[in-house]
Structure 1
Amino acid sequence: MAEPREEYYHPGAADAERAAAASADKKETDEGAYTVDSASDFSANEKRDLQKGLSQRHLSMIALAGSIGTGLFLSLGGSIATGGPLGSLLAYFFIGLIVCAVQFALGEVTALIPVTGSFVRHAEVFADPALGFALGWNIVYGNWLSVPSEIIAICVLIQFWRSDLNSAIWIMVFIVITAAVAFSKIRYFGEIEFGFAILKIILIVGLIIFGLITACGGVHGVERVGFRYWKNPGPFVPYIADGAWGRFLGFWAVLINAIFSFSGAESVAMAAAETRNPRQAIPKAVKRVFARITIFYVLSVLIVGMLVRSDDPRLQGSSDTAATSPFVLAAEAAGIKAIPSIINAVVITSAWSSGNQALLSGSRVLYGLAVKRHAPRVLLRTTSWGVPYVSVATFIAFSFLAFMTMSENAITVFYWFMNLVGCGVLISWSAILFNHLRLHAALRKQGISPTRLPWHNTWTPYASAVGLFFTILLLLTNGFAVFTKGNWSASGFITSYLDIGLVAAAFTIWKLIKRTKWVRLEDIPLEGILREIERNPEEPDYQAKGVIRLISWLWD
């Protein structure tokens, strides 16, 4: 097992002169860490202790697997019931545009500084170390609870087949296999998630084709409906209020649902330091991921809006299993019995995949916090094959919280804790966009052309500004329903807003204790980072050949 060493260690006798120069460049700050002047200084720990086992195809499919989950397969019917077919379509398309801004902003900043922990570490460079501390621990806490919650979801999904085995057995089985994947080489994790993503894509494409054929009357015995349900009950559904205002609130409520459906796309850069040629791979991945996720979601919403009526009472039921999926309802009408089990099986792999990704993202953020001494240094210990095993072990330990399902009172407490980070995805998106805007502000302040960035798009600063406005607006209004007459709910308020207070409190406490300072634009070491990138270009990326090239459009 590799022991944690000094953060800016440069190994090798031949590098002694470089190490001495790097040491001379270190400047002590009020926080007790160092400011640095080159790209290698930001990632010295990762270069020494972690392994680059992920390629661009892994990144693309990991982000797809993380973003296409139970929300797409099971919960779209609920969105149709809330906002109507057209209201839901517009909402998902609008959130897709925000995801585009987030993905491109993340890609530009990560291509410049590809470090473990991604935008959490970027916040320390471009804003304030206290912001990185607050964001990092918020993500760690959320993922500590996400891993057991996904295992709980798997147990619920298995009950679709009326399993006689005790839930405790299934919990233990999935804890063991989750641990096995987490402690294995990062390359194996990438291949497993790659396989899960392929399964999801095959199912989504199949369901879209099936839904289109069914809606157009291509299934024997099923009446052609086309866009009939857009006319009656109508394209929009009033929510809480009546008239135009009620229809708008229905659209806005679906926006909130869509955000959590798209969550996970930001995981594409969490393991940047474990990615081969990250300055090429991550930009390619974020471009592909945005397009594919948006197309799949928009097409799925369009088809579901054709398949089921927005006032169908079955859409108001629980979406814990495949039983109330709108695709299953259409399959039952067509007399096709196999589809419910197929959907449920793939959703189980989706839940396990989401748990794996929560563990990967959380453990790498925890490792990144330890690098900056925002967490105990023991968390930097890695295996000989490059896995931060102490960080991973903390997440495996928290996965045993899934056994709280054995007690009705305990599971209530567990979900109360889960609610504390209900709006975490909006906070993360806001941080990504803010980091990007700070990067471009620093470029202007220092007179550096954006064209020197490893990846640059002329329109992204404007997209980030607009995207940040809407993410903050959605963050402040995501719990609007609890403020309307007769709809007050303490748990709803906590889910929607308490996480904002937790992040603000963590930021304030760390800033007061460590007396951190807001990073001035002129002090962000862009010139040193860019010079090192120019001196050490990455090797040309591998291009698929032969048969693989015919299907590589999925990820390339």
Structure 2
Amino acid sequence: MDVEGASHGISPDGDLEHGAAVRRGSAASFDKLGDVRIVEINEGRDLARGLTQRHLSMIALAGAIGTGLFLSLGGSLQTAGPLGALLAYALIGLVVCAVLFALGEVSALFPVTGSFVRHAEFIVDPALGFAVGWNVVYGSYLSVPAEISAAIVLIQFWTDKYPALFITLFVVITFLVGIAGIVIYGEIEFAFALLKVLLVVGIIIMGLVIDLGGVPGQKRLGFTYWKDPGPFIEYVTSGSLGSFLGFWAVMNNAVYSFSGVESVSVAACETQNPRQNIPRACKRVFARVSIFYILAVLIVGMLVPSNDPDLEYDSGNASTSPFVLAATRAGIKIVPHVINAVVLTSAWSSSNQAMLSGTRILYGLALKRQAPQIFLRTTKWGIPFVCVILQTAIATLAYMSLSNGALTVFYWLLDLTSCGVLISWSVICINHIRLHKALKAQGISRAELPWSHGWTYYSSWAALFVCVLILLTGGFTVFCTGYWNVESFIASYLDIPLVLAAYFGWKMFKRTKILSLHDIPIRVALEEIRLTPEAKIPPMKGWKRLNILWG
């Protein structure tokens, strides 16, 4: 492996030498800025720009459509009822859209490896970047064995033989995708995202056909289950408060379902034209999330009653998906196998995304000397291979499922990382709010930013409020009489003191300070934009304008 830091740029048409020349030209332009720069020399020199707007749009979409949509809706329906679940997912969908608009605006100005973790260092406090960065690394590194354990559960839908062989296979494949060029990662994720989209569209159409009585021998359902057993389910207590608590109890499920969307800009320095492509990818998520999630949750509530006894059993695979229950009862036997197969690719996709997030954020921490410098070493095709090797080694934790059961291990690892998503989303909103405050303090117009909207400042405040509220109250059930559970309490709140300890520990060790609004390097970023301009991406023409996924 070449670790000497050669240029690794890739042009849009795949010409390596041309891309390398462009990167050398960019590095020469950076030299005019002196010692202060946003994009570090290492990341500008050692990483390859292989992700295109097509890849980013589908990666963002794939992050929003995870295993939670296919497998967890049954539990949400059972807890909150059809209307309660729909409102919960709609609220989190709005939060996700606000978070992505905030991320897009800040990433367009600061297109750096590590995304919001590095943004926190530029905009808030280096100690916050350290704390959140290591929290994301920790969560991402545990997510890989968690997703592999989930994949084993899905495979057990067909066979429970040779689990060790399948674990080894998934670990090796995840490593190969992680160590290969970023272009290969982009193409694999593009294909997986397309499969998920096709499955969602298919099950929505199937659900409508079943609900409207289009299957021979099946009566029309309509909104029957909204009337009996009703639109809401009482949870913990009775009355209106019980209905509200059922709605609120679904929030963690909804957050988990959307987790991963924030990874769209983690590899900004490996993205072509990041100041244009990252905002476009973030912007497109709103309509897609609205269409896919809201319709899917709505259809589920029409197909299966919230008091269905089959929802009680959580196998962790497609057999207890409410879509599968409805299809099986309608006599459509192939659906369980199709859903299980696509969800299996979804678990693999989530593993790949966790690998990308963990390795790039660890690389970004090493750039700022908040992690050992050995993690800066890259291959000749621009992959931080030491980061990948470490994450692959930790992925072998999936072998614990051989003695404890794959589903049990999956939930162990999932519980350890669940509230880290809310912390990440909160930091993204804080970064954006601070950026707008700094613009006002420094007398810089929003029009000078590569991408911005006047209303996003307010949507970030709203999203931050909701994220913090869910973070503090997501585990409310353990405080109710008769519901105390030590494991649930730790899973819901352990991450908060860990992040605070990391923040104050690094703050005392390095004596960092919260940056003054006047010290946020907006002018430096704008100067880099002037010295390293991006070629304007031409608008879509002809039939390509009909492409609603990434066009």
Asked if TM exceeds 0.5, the reply is yes
1:553 matched to 2:548: yes
AA at the equivalent of 1:106: L
- The reply to whether residue 60 of structure 1 matches residue 57 of structure 2 is yes
Structure 1 partner of 2:302: 306
Aligned length: 535
SS where residue 161 of structure 1 aligns?
A: coil
- Give the C-alpha shift of residue 399 in structure 1: 1.0
Secondary structure of the residue aligned to 2:156 is helix
Note the 1:74-473 alignment, pairs <5 A: 74-164=71-161, 166-408=162-404, 416=412, 418-473=414-469
User: SS of the residue aligned with 2:333?
Assistant: coil
Map Cα deviations across residues 210-259 of structure 1 (whole Å, 9 max, x no partner).
Answer: 00110010110111110011111111110111000000001111222111
1:33 matched residue in structure 2: none
Distance in 2, Cα, partners of 1:240 & 1:119: 37
Q: One-letter code of the match for 1:450?
A: R
Q: 1:397 to 1:438 in 2, by over 3 A?
A: same
* 8 Å Cα contact 2:27/2:45 also seen in 1: no
**AA at the equivalent of 1:134:** A
- Which one-letter code corresponds to 1:2 in the other structure? V
Displacement, 1:410? 11
User: 1:543 Cα shift?
Assistant: 4.8
SS of the aligned residue for 2:233 comes to: coil
- Offset of residue 393 of structure 1: 0.9
Corresponding residue to 2:497 among 501, 505, 524: 501
Query: 1:527 & 1:257 partners in 2: Cα distance?
Result: 41
- How large is the Cα RMSD of the aligned pairs? 2.1
1:311-363 deviations in Å (ceiling 9; x for gaps): 10111210501111111111111111100000000010000000000000110
1:417 is displaced (CA, Å) by: 5.6
Cα offset for 1:162? 2.3
Contact between 1:4 and 1:377, CA under 8 Å: does it hold in 2? no
The 2-side partners of 1:136 and 1:200 are apart by 29
Q: Is the 8 A contact 2:29 2:531 kept in 1?
A: no
Aligned to 1:31: none
- Give yes or no for contact 1:183–1:387 (8 Å, CA) kept in 2: yes
SS at match of 2:417: coil
SS at match of 2:250: helix
Could you tell me how far 1:550 is from its partner in structure 2? Answer: 6.3
**What does residue 66 of structure 2 align with?**
69
Candidates 492, 497, 518, aligned match of 1:522: 518
Distance 1:14 1:491 in 2: 51
CA distance in 2, matches of 1:506, 1:465: 25
Deviation per CA, 1:454-501, whole angstroms, max 9, x where unpaired? Answer: 001010001011111111111100100100010001110111101000
Distance change >3 Å, CA 507–CA 55, structure 1 → 2? same
CA contact (8 A) 1:304 1:327 kept: yes
Other-structure match for 2:3: 2
Give, in whole Å, the separation in 1 of the partners of 2:25 and 2:289.
48
Q: Is the contact made by 2:143 and 2:417 (CA closer than 8 Å) also made in structure 1? A: no
3-state SS, counterpart of residue 160 of structure 1:
coil
| Contact 1:100 1:290 (C-alpha < 8 Å) held by counterparts | yes
User: 3-state SS of the aligned residue for 1:517?
Assistant: coil
Question: Shift in Å at residue 134 of structure 1?
Answer: 0.5
CA separation of 1:414 and 1:84: change in aligned 2, threshold 3 A: closer
The alpha-carbon deviation at position 420 of structure 1 amounts to: 3.1
Cα deviation for residue 152 of structure 1 reads 1.1
- Determine whether 1:489 maps to 2:507: no
Report deviation, 1:294: 2.7
Q: Which moved more, 1:286-295 or 1:365-374?
A: 286-295
Query: What's the CA shift for 1:516?
Result: 1.1
Amino acid of the structure 2 residue aligned with 1:554: L
Does the CA contact (< 8 Å) of 2:101 and 2:279 recur in 1? Answer: yes
Counterpart-to-counterpart distance in 2, 1:14 and 1:86: 53
Matches of 1:245 and 1:136, distance apart in 2: 38
- 1:538 matched residue in structure 2: 534
Contact 1:421 1:498 survives alignment (8 Å) = no
CA shift at 1:273, angstroms? 0.9
Contact in 2 for aligned 1:74/1:319 (Cα 8 Å): no
Structure 2 residue aligned with 1:29: none
CA apart distance, 1:291: 1.8
The CA distance in 2 between the partners of 1:253 and 1:410, in whole Å, is: 25
1:293, CA displacement in angstroms? 2.0
In structure 2, distance between residues paired with 1:210 and 1:16: 56
Whole-angstrom distance in 2 between the partners of 1:124 and 1:14: 23
The one-letter code sitting in structure 2 at the alignment partner of 1:81 is Q
- Give distance in 1, aligned partners of 2:30 and 2:293: 50
Runs of 5+ unmatched residues, structure 2: 7-21
Q: Do the aligned residues in 1 keep the contact of 2:48 with 2:381 (CA within 8 Å)?
A: yes
Q: In structure 2, how many angstroms separate the alpha carbons of the residues matched to 1:11 and 1:183? A: 21
User: What is the deviation of 1:419?
Assistant: 2.9
Deviation at 1:196, TM superposition (A): 0.4
Identical-pair percentage: 59
In structure 2, relative to structure 1, the CA distance for the partners of 1:78 and 1:419 (3 Å cut) is closer
Counterpart contact for 2:108–2:450, Cα < 8 Å:
yes
In structure 2, what residue type is equivalent to 1:555? W
Instruction: Tell me how far 1:375 sits from its aligned partner.
Output: 0.4
* Inter-CA distance 15–526: structure 2 relative to 1 (3 Å threshold): closer
Shift in Å, 1:400: 1.0
Q: CA deviation at 1:404?
A: 1.2
- Following TM superposition, where does structure 1 have runs of at least 4 consecutive aligned residues deviating by more than 6 angstroms? 10-18, 409-414
SS at match of 2:89: helix
Q: Check the 8 A contact 1:4/1:380 in 2, yes or no.
A: no
Please tell me the residue identity of whatever aligns with 1:128.
D
Measure the CA separation in 2 of the matches of 1:205 and 1:414. Answer: 28
CA distance in 2 between partners of 1:420 and 1:156 (Å): 19
How far residue 77 of structure 1 moved from its aligned partner, in angstroms, is 1.4
Distance 1:224 1:418, change over 3 A: closer
Corresponding residue SS for 1:420: helix
What is the alpha-carbon distance in structure 1 between the residues aligned to residue 463 and residue 285 of structure 2? 18
